[in-house]
Structure 1
Amino acid sequence: MFANRHRRIQWLCDLVKSSPSATYTLRRPFGAPQILTGNPNNVQHILKTRFDIYTKGDFFKSNFYDLLGNGIFNIDGENWKFQRKVSSYEFNTRTLRKFTETVVDTELFDRLIPVLWESAQKKTVLDFQDVLQRFAFDNICKISFGYDPNYLLPCFPQAKFACAFDEAANISTKRFNSPVPIFWEVMKILNFGSERKLKIAVSEVRKFAQKIVREKKEELEKNSKIDSVDLLSRFLISGQCDEDFVIDIVISFILAGKDTTSAALTWFFWLLSRNPNVEEEILKEIGGKTKAPVFDEVKDMVYTHASLCESMRLYPPVPLDSKGAESDDILPDGTVVKKGMRVTYVPYAMGRMESLWGEDWNKFRPERWLERDPVTGKWVFVPRDPYAYCVFQAGPRICLGREMAFLQMKKIVAGVVGRFRVVPAVEDSFDPVYTSTLSSKMEGGFPVKIEVRAEE
């Protein structure tokens, strides 16, 4: 574990791929053994068949409680069911979909495209990962709070809340990956080192969220007829008034939307730069959609959708997910699970398994998701088994924001690819390193030069 601490995700992937059943029991020097799996039958068993016994577990909750509190990503049972039910209703409203579409268009055409255009004119190098993270942060704050942090501006301002959120997420993840958990527990008691930094960062995050919640309450009290479509307003209108509860929900939504779409798009544009044939097919598809494709047009971007799925197969925004076993069990491949053990499925490894994707698993090939309609000759998207491709989880905890994420990503692809070439400002031999906290990143950023695409 120590020798591979700088390539932890890749090492865990190697362990899973080297096992005949794609399942490996890691016996750690401290703490209970951990089971790692990339077996789709096991994943279905964990996420669906025995969903009742595979919970977030005390280990996960204790590590992330300071940041996530009792938000939807850190709880089980009746509290989770309640938040899921309310969230599910809000995510499925036509009003929110339209609001999201408007927010993305505004951020895309008023901020992202002008930033890229200016960079192209001045021939500067951008960290495209940072640009996309800023874009995603503005978007999720507008959708969640109805608040604009103005994080994506040409001067690239520092947002205290965004920096605090990143630090809190990074330290919480280090807690989770620590081989000797008692170290951080002692530091927390002593208010020392990284735990002191975490306390300060979380305080900043919650203070900011609390300010937004209180301002939104006042806004709604002054004008009960206000046409509020952001998620926070909708939760408050539906009767969720406990302040800490609402703050936890808001923080969870930011976690879900801030880095996941930006991570997916960072790797997508990297792969696109290395596969000009795919870029050409996307250009054909978005031909008349560079203005502002509406929802129905976005749905028709089948090849782009397949390309995004293929990118996330190789570089999933969340590389692994852990559950805690509430009772003894046996997985479908015969692996024995004891009460209290952590069971982790690894989407990063599953996207790299020859048994699931064939000999060309290491190729970026969107066509593996498509087939031709025998009548029209057009591409038709063919979904994969959700337990073999569990990038958005599966079963009762499947991601509620999946459709919203694809809407955002396809709009960005249409807006950017139709106007610019995103050219990596690196050596041809450059091999980016996939790293992860709560979501994945390209280590050291993604330096690019922006070139304006010549009109036909």
Structure 2
Amino acid sequence: MAFYAFQGFIITLLVLLLTLHILVKSRRSKSSSFPVDWPILGMLPSLVGNLHNLQEYVTDVLATSSSSLLAHGPLASGMRLFVTCDPENIRHIFTTNHANYPKGEDFGEIFDIMQGSLFTVDGESCRRQRGRMKSILSNPRMISLMSSCSLEKVAKGLVPFLTRMATTRTAFDLQDLIARFAFDFTVMPIFSVDPGLLSSEMPPMDAAEAMDMVMAVGLLRQVMPASCWKLMRWLNTGPEKKLAAGHSTLYRFVMEMMEKRKAKNLDKEQDTVDVVSSYIHDPEFNDDLLRATLILYMVAGRDTIGSSLPWFFYNLAKNSHVVSAIRKELTPVVLSRKHAATTSNDTNTIVVFEPEDLKALVYLQAALLESLRLYPPGPIVRKTVLKDDVMPSGHEVRSGDTVLISPYALGRMESVWGKDWRDYRPERWLSDNGLKLRYVPSHKFLAFNSGPRMCIGKDIAIMQMKIAAAAIVWNFDMEVLGKQTIEPKLSCLLQMKNGLMVTVNKREEIIQV
């Protein structure tokens, strides 16, 4: 056993050294968007050489490969990848033949901190856990709790902070602010405890940063041979060392939240409404599975909104006519004053919108969906092939192959979205009269997954984004600072690599109510 372990170590080390050698040579030559299938190493060097710009690279490759590509890893790894953003392939994988494309056992290893939870399982366990989660998230009391937590964080955290920044004309990182906001209102309904990241003290975001590390290393684990990242984990080096520290931070955070919840004696109250209450007395959920499930709720609830809203405001900053259109749609709501909650902390009235105010606002939702098209929170989705199959595109996949689907590339395909795919145009989501949202099938828009694993919290997430977006757009003018590079971070979560520095002003010509 020791001999084979050492042999695996030597092979992996040689692959890494050979990859590094080829990368050095290839960077001296003219680069090409199409990956080179190197002898022995396959397409791994091309992939590693473009990790700094992975999403755009994959998009370019798929655009020149009729939206699908078979790729090979190093010879010794047996790694075969099928990469696609073809809508017909996506429908086949996610819906028509979804049973043949599970996440697979490797997925649980890649995201081991959530292993055993709904995020990593297939089959009967998936159906059972999904049914439980759907029951929790469809409970009217839970929906009400989540919306009230979002509203509270907007009114008492987000808006006051932006008001201070407007008064002092101080530049700040919008992505950092939204991350704090999303983390707080996600965790509150889980534990009935406010983490307080959006408080005036702006404490360190250790747990949120640990979640970011999980998603960043998760991407690296998906695109490299398992032997490589397992070697780094064994040596406790590189990103694997940081991930281990991140795991410890998240475990500690969950324990602290449970202790704070316990201190409030919530377990003794039979009528408590929070996520923990729905699992804590279930014998199926031992300590490890309960912890993995709670971390899943944190990741799923925070990541969609925390990554999407910064890109949304980035798009608005470049398209002032969209801002005007959203404000025009909000004006009747403000004038009605029927449900608008107002405060008068200064000379200008701040308006915070209730979920019911925003339910019928189709242009605001279209603007959010259009941003999600270009910048989906999960830019890559991984599946495993159970049995040999033929894709609608004609590509043959074999049992054990890895399938990578790119929602990021899907939103940038001219064949799907037309010649104006580069344009941020909310109108593409509206009916001809602009009064209704146009139906777009999920296999053409994967921001919320598709098929039997469609995102259960989709409607809740859209509601929460609307609450924050409406309050900010109505009350403030925002400007993105120049001379900053805006590009995606290398992660399973589509964050901005360098954040988003902005300034805000209180609106001068705001309607007084």
TM-score tier by shorter-chain length is: over 0.9
Q: Does the 8 Å contact 1:425/1:449 carry over to 2?
A: yes
TM-score by length of 2: 0.83
The letter of the residue matching 1:190 is: L
Corresponding position of 1:32? 79
Contact 2:154 2:352 in 1 (8 A): no
Q: Which moved more, 1:183-192 or 1:392-401?
A: 183-192
* Residue from 234, 257, 268 that aligns with 1:223: 268
The residue that corresponds to 1:258 in the other structure is 302
Match of 1:137 in 2: 183
TM-score (norm 1): 0.93
| Number of residue-to-residue matches in the alignment | 446
Name the residue aligned to 2:157.
111
In structure 2, the residue matched to 1:163 is 209
Contact 1:63 1:175 in 2 (8 A): yes
Give the number of the structure whose alpha-carbon radius of gyration is greater.
2
Find 1:302's aligned residue among 336, 357, 362. Answer: 362
Amino acid corresponding to residue 232 of structure 2 in structure 1: M
**C-alpha deviation, 1:372, in angstroms:** 4.4
Q: Within 5 Å, which residues of 2 pair with 1:344-355?
A: 344-355=404-415
User: Quick one: structure 1 residues 158 and 53, their matched pair in 2 at CA, closer, same or farther if it must change by over 3 Å?
Assistant: same
Consecutive aligned runs of 4 or more in structure 1 exceeding 6 Å deviation: none
Q: Cα RMSD (Å) of the superposition?
A: 2.0
Residues 166 and 320 from structure 1, CA distance in 2 versus in 1: closer, same or farther, beyond 3 angstroms? closer
CA distance in 1, matches of 2:136, 2:282: 10
Question: Which blocks of at least 5 consecutive residues in structure 1 are unaligned?
Answer: none
Distance across 2 between alignment mates of 1:77 and 1:90: 20
**Does residue 406 of structure 1 match 2:462?**
yes
Q: d(CA) in 2 for partners of 1:275 and 1:82?
A: 44
How far the C-alpha of 1:159 sits from its partner, in A, is 3.2
Deviates most, 241-250 or 446-455: 241-250
- The corresponding residue for 2:92 is 45
Checking the alignment, whether the CA contact within 8 Å between 2:103 and 2:384 is kept in structure 1 is yes
Q: 1:345, 1:172 → 2: CA distance? A: 15
**Counterpart Cα distance in 2 of 1:300 and 1:278:** 17
1:30-429 maps to which residues of 2 (within 5 A)?
Answer: 30-65=77-112, 67-178=113-224, 180-213=225-258, 216=261, 223-225=268-270, 227-236=271-280, 241-287=285-331, 288-289=333-334, 291-373=351-433, 379-427=435-483
Work out whether residues 16 and 24 of structure 1, in 8 Å CA contact, stay in contact via their aligned partners in 2: yes
For 2:383 and 2:252, how far apart are their aligned partners in 1? 30
Whether the 8 Å CA contact 1:369–1:381 is kept in 2: the answer is yes
Shift in Å, 1:90: 0.7
The one-character-per-residue Cα deviations of 1:112-164 (angstroms, maximum 9, x if unpaired) are 00110000111111100000001000011102221211111233210332233
Equivalent AA in structure 2 for residue 119 of structure 1: M
Q: CA deviation at 1:191?
A: 3.4
**Which AA in structure 1 matches 2:93?**
I
Contact 2:84-2:406 at 8 Å conserved across structures = yes
Deviation at 1:111, TM superposition (A): 0.5
Q: Residue 216 of structure 1 contacts residue 233 of structure 1 at CA under 8 Å; is this kept in 2?
A: no
Which blocks of at least 5 consecutive residues in structure 2 are unaligned?
1-46, 335-339, 341-350
Q: Deviations over 1:34-54 (max 9, x none)?
A: 111111111011001111110
Q: Cα deviations across residues 223-270 of structure 1 (Å, max 9, x unaligned)?
A: 233x42222223336666522211111111111122221211111101
User: CA-to-partner distance for each residue in 1:178-231, whole Å, 9 max, x for gaps?
Assistant: 3x4323212323334433332232122123213434654675676233x42222
**Sequence identity, in percent?**
30
Q: Within 1, Cα distance between the matches of 2:314 and 2:208?
A: 24
For 2:368 and 2:424, locate their aligned partners in 1 and report how far apart those are by CA, in whole Å: 10
Q: Hey, what's the Cα distance between the residues in 1 that align with 2:218 and 2:307?
A: 19
